[in-house]
A and B are shown apart, each in its own frame.
Chain A
Amino acid sequence: MSIELSIINSVTIRDSKVYKNGQLIFKSEPDLVISKFLKGIYRDQNLKYPKFFKMDSLSKFGYLGVEILTNANIQDKETALIFANSASSLETDEAYARTMAEFPSPSLFVYTLPNIMLGEISIRHQLRSENIFLVSEAFDPALFIDYSRGLFQQEKADKVLCGWVNLHNNEYDVFLWEIARSGGIDFNEEELKKLYLPTHE
């Protein structure tokens, strides 16, 4: 028996642009270095969270995505997090590895795991909910659907935030969405692919 679920919000960050529910909400000049692009979004959203500046770029993308997706407010503290990407924490792995020759940097090493992003989001919103980080070669809608259905079926959560947050070689691909039992677009592979790839249709 499969249950019906809805996508109630989504955010895409791609090609120097930020979209919420399909609407362009922020745009920076193309080819800006990533750190400046991220800071631009932070300022534009009027966020005040000093911990942001200590995060690595992958965590910044995850943090900003969630703030935009939820209007910086997650009421239901049981909201579960299901995130995935392809490049794991490779960007920071490389930065940390470069320090190994001299003095290995502890502040970089702590970010050499992709699920640290989930830790940052959980700290920010004081979520003590279930979270998982999956690594797959490409965006895999079925994986998110199966895992979320399991959570709803077992009544572990009434809200789930999903995220594909990938960063490698200065290329980023960020897509987040919020799932509930009702009140939005049907949560299935087809709709998810449509939201993920609007520009390629």
Chain B
Amino acid sequence: MEGVAVTGMGIISAIGRDVEEAHFSLKIGKDGISYPDILSTIHQNLPVGEIKLSNSELSEILNLPEDHAYTRAALLGVYAIRELLENSGMERFPGDTGFISGTSVGGIDKTEEHFYNYKENVADRKYIQAQHPGFTTEKIAEYFGINGMVTTISTACSSSANAIMMGAQMIESGKLKRVIVGGSDCLTKFTLNGFNSLKILSENKSRPFDNEREGLNLGEAAGYLLLEAEDQMAGENILGRVVGYGNANDAFHQTASSENGEGAFNAISRALKKAGLSASEVDYINTHGTGTRNNDLSESVALKRVFGDHIPEFSSTKGYTGHTLGAAGAIEAIFSLLSIQNGKIFPNLNFSNKMAETNLAPVTEIKSKHIETVLSNSLGFGGNCTSLIFQ
């Protein structure tokens, strides 16, 4: 079989602290949406997909010294990669392991916590450098002693999907034998206020693809996959394969998608071409489906353009986790692999009415089905659209 092997994965999100917990929540339709407890914000009315572990609890679980300088995104990233390492069956990552991590927020959480104290409080100054998005990646790499190629991708909500694409490309070109790919983003006041200022946050649980959808819920998560060249595997089991990927710019607006879904249409078409698959061979689509008026309509139009009258069964899993920004592509890659492994389509939560413009209905009840091929979309601000295909 063609493609790049996935030999490990790890995830932490609002629906669970490992792959098994996430899978359980997906199966029983249990979302992780709540009001903010850990993020201190005046916007108590805005639902979020928050991980109910404070930074000090996370630090304790990870055995970090008290004076560490890990950002929340770094803590979540380390947490998820510990699971990945465990289920890959390896003791530690070999020296030639690469690391490509996507993030949109980086260490902004630490800056907003400590910015006004830097003058007086010398101890907090260790966080000044944490603002740099690469700092979060370097901290994670340092924890696991990874000193191969380490880099950070920042392309908004498609960051970690692009990390997967870049990793697969590096393996196929023979540049790397194995690489950890994915992303980590945490909730911050910065993003909550920003998305709120764009008026695209819902005061209720998000309702992807529903005619009355009123916006997204922000979430936080970290998700990582271990990709390996099949002839040089160190991991024990192949959990799935990345067989296709495509990226395209929508070239329309900084933060809105085009009416004809041009970017998504091109990304999906390129991913299919790369995989050597026809549209009819896709068994299930894990959509971007954020729950905003704009995204869900644009993405639906793109699906109609690619698949015509035969759109495969699809759902958005953002109703479970919230929109986890730079981490979304990676956690949804893991959900896609779970769909294949278990022969299940996880339902699109909170949907009741089809969109008037497109008349499309996602899968709303858990469904058993033999699934070989899954398409996963990640569409980001800046028009950055990425589609991945897993088998």
Contact = CB atoms under 8 A, between A and B. Distances in A.
A146 B260 CA distance: 33
Contact of B249 (A118, A143, A150): A118
A20 B173 CA distance: 32
A135 B115 CA distance: 22
A104 B382 contact: no
Given A109-B197, A109-B198, A132-B247, A123 B253 contact: yes
Nearest to B129: A137
B381 interface: yes
A132 B153 contact: yes
A93 interface: yes
| Chain A interface mostly | mixed
Contacts of B262: 128
Given A86-B132, A104-B196, A133 B173 contact: no
B382 A106 contact: no
A131 B381 CA distance: 13
Interface in B22-41: none
B50 interface: no
Contacts of B134: 86, 135-137
A113 B156 contact: yes
B383 A122 contact: yes
B73 to A, nearest CB: 13
Given A113-B104, A115-B382, A131 B249 contact: yes
B384 A136 contact: no
A120 B251 CA distance: 8
Contacts of A100: 189-190, 193
A153 interface: yes
B132 A146 contact: no
Contacts of B369: none
A125 B274 CA distance: 25
Interface in B223-265: 246-255, 262-263
Interface in B157-215: 162, 166, 169-170, 172-173, 175, 189-190, 193-199
19 contacts: A87-B132, A88-B154, A90-B131, A97-B115, A100-B193, A103-B197, A104-B193, A113-B154, A113-B382, A119-B253, A119-B384, A126-B251, A130-B248, A131-B384, A134-B151, A134-B152, A135-B132, A136-B152, A140-B151
Given A93-B131, A130-B246, 11 more contacts: A81-B249, A100-B193, A112-B194, A114-B154, A115-B380, A116-B254, A118-B155, A119-B381, A119-B384, A132-B247, A149-B173
Interface of A: 81, 86-88, 90, 93, 96-97, 100, 103-106, 109-120, 122-123, 125-137, 140, 143, 146-147, 149-150, 153-154, 156
Closest 5 CB pairs of A and B: A119-B382, A109-B194, A122-B249, A115-B382, A106-B197
